[in-house]
């Protein structure tokens, strides 16, 4: 064998080995199809049954162990694309539900060492398992819509309550904790957190702690975390608006029976998170109501 023939043989064997390696790597193979052959990118449609019904199940029960930051078994289930690529065991979806490794693992008893999710984790319901079965039975499609799965169990709204973790709450509140404590010491009934797990505040005017402009200015240090502000009957004027405009998280304000003018109230259109605003009826008639409606702010006028 000549040197030239030897190098040609080595080159051919190298290409064959490279081709074999790529063929065993679904992600590489798909990349080649998309980059070299111009095939469409492998991804699920936004209105697909996968996106609307299947992905939320994976997110709820699987992605703690199977996502980009923790790829147990070299398997990711945090997107349609990654799910199709499979993991260490190869294709986990199978060509149908009968030989799907994913479905087999989900159907194992909770205490089985191969069960998905693993023992001790929250477990899918029968209806959620049925959704996976139906999806696999139709080829694990990323394009078929919910209309093509008429027998699928109806989606249920699941409300989950995370366990109370004081240390986590303390961390959330740490930036403004000292300032909040100072205000709560001065006005214990007027400055409160919205919930024991929240970092946001509700400030309420009570007759026991009158909030005039000079006193109201004290809250500017916690302005970014004030979410609800009830100043009805508070002796404040337009001077308070400058502080209120610093409250970027505000969703609710009650300024009824105050001396704040319509011109000053109109400046509140600059608060991007504001949803509800209560003012005197007399002030309401002077406001650019259409602009507030366009900003998604619900206006209410009451007798002063």
Per residue in 91-109, pLDDT tens?
Answer: 788 755 567 888 888 989 8
**pLDDT of amino acid 208:** 60
| Prediction pTM value | 0.51
Q: Are residues 206 and 238 in the same domain?
A: yes
Q: Are residues 174 and 291 in the same domain?
A: yes
Same domain flag for 292 and 218: yes
- Whether residues 231 and 265 share a domain: the answer is yes
Shared domain check, 135 and 171: no
Does residue 86 sit in the same domain as residue 194? no
Three-state secondary structure readout of the chain:
CCHHHHHHHHHHHHHHHHHHHHHCCHHHHHHHHHHHCCCCCCCCCCCEHHHHHHHHHHHHHCCCCEECCEEHHHCCCCCHHHHHHCECCECCCCCCHHHCHHHHHHHCCCCCCCCCCCCCCCCCCHHHHHHHHHHHHCCCCCCCEHHHCCCCCCCCCCCCCCCCCHHHHHHHHHHHHHHHHHHHHHCCCCEEECCCCCCCEEEECECCECCCHHHHHHHHHHHHHEEEEECCCCCCCHHHHHHHCCCCCCCEEECCCCCCCHHHHHHHHHCCCCCEEEEEHHHHCCCCHHHHHHCCCEEEEECC
In a domain, 42, yes or no: no
Is 153 a member of any domain?
no
Domain C-terminal end among 115, 148, 181: 148
Q: Is position 17 within any domain?
A: no
CATH number of the structural domain spanning residue 193? 3.80.10.10
The answer on 71 and 105 residing in a single domain is yes
Regarding whether 170 and 298 lie in a shared domain, the answer is yes
The pLDDT of residue 22: 43
> Is 158 inside any structural domain?
no
Same domain, 219 and 290: yes
pLDDT in tens, 183-219: 999 888 889 999 888 999 999 886 666 677 887 778 8
Domain that holds residue 222: 166-302
Together in a domain, 285 and 240: yes
Residues 134, 207, single domain; the answer is no
What is the number of domains present in the chain? 2
């Amino acid at each position: 064998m000549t040197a030239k023939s030897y190098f040609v043989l080595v080159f051919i064997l190298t290409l064959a080995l490279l081709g074999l390696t790529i063929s065993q790597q679904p992600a590489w193979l798909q990349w080649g199809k998309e980059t070299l052959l111009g095939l469409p990118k492998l991804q699920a449609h936004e209105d697909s049954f996968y996106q609307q019904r299947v992905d939320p199940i994976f997110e709820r029960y699987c992605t703690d162990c199977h996502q980009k930051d923790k790829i147990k078994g070299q398997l990711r289930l945090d997107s349609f694309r990654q799910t199709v690529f499979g993991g260490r065991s190869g294709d986990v979806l199978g060509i149908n539900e009968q030989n799907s490794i994913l479905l087999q693992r989900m159907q194992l008893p909770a205490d089985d060492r191969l069960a998905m999710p693993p023992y001790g984790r929250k477990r899918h319901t029968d209806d959620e398992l049925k959704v996976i079965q139906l999806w696999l039975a139709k080829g694990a499609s990323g394009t078929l819509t919910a209309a093509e799965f008429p027998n699928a169990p109806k989606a249920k709204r699941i409300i989950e309550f995370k366990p109370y973790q004081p240390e986590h709450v303390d961390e959330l509140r740490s930036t403004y904790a000292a300032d909040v404590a100072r205000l709560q010491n001065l006005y214990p009934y007027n400055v409160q957190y919205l919930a024991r797990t929240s970092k946001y505040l509700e400030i309420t005017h009570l007759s026991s702690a009158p909030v005039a402009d000079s006193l109201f200015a004290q809250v500017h240090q916690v302005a970014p975390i004030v979410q609800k502000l009830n100043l009805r009957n508070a002796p404040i004027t337009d001077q308070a608006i400058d502080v209120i405009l610093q409250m970027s998280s505000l969703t609710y304000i009650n300024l009824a029976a105050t001396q704040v003018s319509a011109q000053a109230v109109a400046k509140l259109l600059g608060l991007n998170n504001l949803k509800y605003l209560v003012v005197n009826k007399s002030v309401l008639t002077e406001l650019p109501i259409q602009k507030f409606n366009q900003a998604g702010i619900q206006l209410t006028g009451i007798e002063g």
